[in-house]
Amino acid sequence: MTGPRLTPLAASLPSDVPFVGPELQEREMGRPFAARLGANENVFGPSPRAIAAMQEALPEIWKYADSSNHDLRAALADAMGAAPDQIVIGSGIDGLLGTLVRLLVAEGDAVVTSDGAYPTFNYHVTGFGGTLHKVPFRDDREDLEALLTRAAETDAKLVYLSNPDNPMGSWHTGAAIEAALDRVPEGCVLCLDEAYIEFAPEGTAPRIDPEDPRVIRFRTFSKAYGLAGARVGYGTGARALIRAFDKVRDHFGMNRPAQAGACAALADTDWMTDVLSRVAGAKERIAEIARANDLTPLPSATNFVTIDCGADGDFARRVLTELVQRGVFVRMPFRPPQDRCIRISAGQPRELDELELHLPDALAAARRASPL
């Protein structure tokens, strides 16, 4: 009896996953986290109008959704200054990244990203046989100049840039990105991941003609809109590239309640204003807790705060482990020197109470295990 015959490429890939979810950690611990501060979710939740729209759509869950995502694309076109046929909908930015890589990257093709940037993108590239070229962060943010230089050196098909950045919370101005577009090599596409753009300072989003063939921009309803579980992402780009998604995308990947909820969330600007205010307040409290423990909070244009623990990655990992053992779920950057930090998502007041309570003991335990 034989098993499945994996392709040589699939057989060669490691069997690890980018993230260990909090639910798995809870099962292993045998208890829930008291504070879920690691996944960069919007703990303040979606608009009540979005919840109502999803509940109204639920009885028709037996139907396949509109495979063209007509209503949501029309609503996003108004919001993005684009035409509906310059917009693609997918199962979160993760799903759209996978489809984009499938479209552009063949085995051996060069792709450029930052060492320590969003790992799921890397999984898509290696999963389709692409060759990753990584450049280091500079001053705790992705180095746009170095990314484009490496793209020219390698004849890259694709360059990935998150703005604002995860895991550091740093950002480039929109003007800087606009000025860099002329350096995108011929035949290369800049993939601009703007998952956190709603939290960023004014002027962070570049002004780019959606029909510019050098760029595709991805955004999501998972963060500021509080719909991470609904898996609604979208992209804007030139019509030729957007049409090409139809060749390979999952046409029924977006269910009816998710589409309805996203449309309602997009329209509820008052709820968004309230969420942004609460996120800003939570970030300030996280920063205050960090400073009270002689740690350094980094500037953030996202819904999380990255905190410099003041030592190396081994020490930061110990701090993270100690927090997790005390019921506080946080994450951290994967690569040095950014791994000297831990990353804490904006949380509800009671969750930040848990952080404030347990961080001193976690630091003390980490210092005993790893003397500075």
DSSP type of residue 220? E
Question: How far is Cα 34 from Cα 45, in angstroms, rounded to an integer?
Answer: 18
Start-end of H helices in 135-226: 144-154, 174-180
Options 3.40.190.10, 3.90.1150.10, 1.10.10.10, 3.50.50.60; which CATH number does 19-45+270-369 get? 3.90.1150.10
Which positions ≥6 away from 210 have C-beta within 8 Å? 80, 81, 82, 83, 86, 236, 237, 238
How distant is the alpha carbon of residue 342 from its chain centre?
16
| Gap between the Cα atoms of 211 and 58, Å rounded | 36
How much is the pLDDT for 95? 95
Global pTM exceeds 0.85: yes
For 323, the 3-state DSSP assignment is helix
Q: For position 47, what pLDDT does the model report?
A: 98
Q: pLDDT tens across 173-227, in order?
A: 999 999 999 999 999 999 999 999 999 999 999 999 999 999 999 999 999 999 9
**Domain boundaries along the sequence of the chain:** 19-45+270-369, 49-267
The CATH code that applies to domain 49-267 is 3.40.640.10
pLDDT on residue 290? 98
Looking up tokens 């890259």 gives: 156
How far, in Å, CA of 294 to CA of 48, rounded? 39
Residue 1 is predicted with a pLDDT of 72
Give me the residues of the chain with pLDDT under 70, please: 370-372
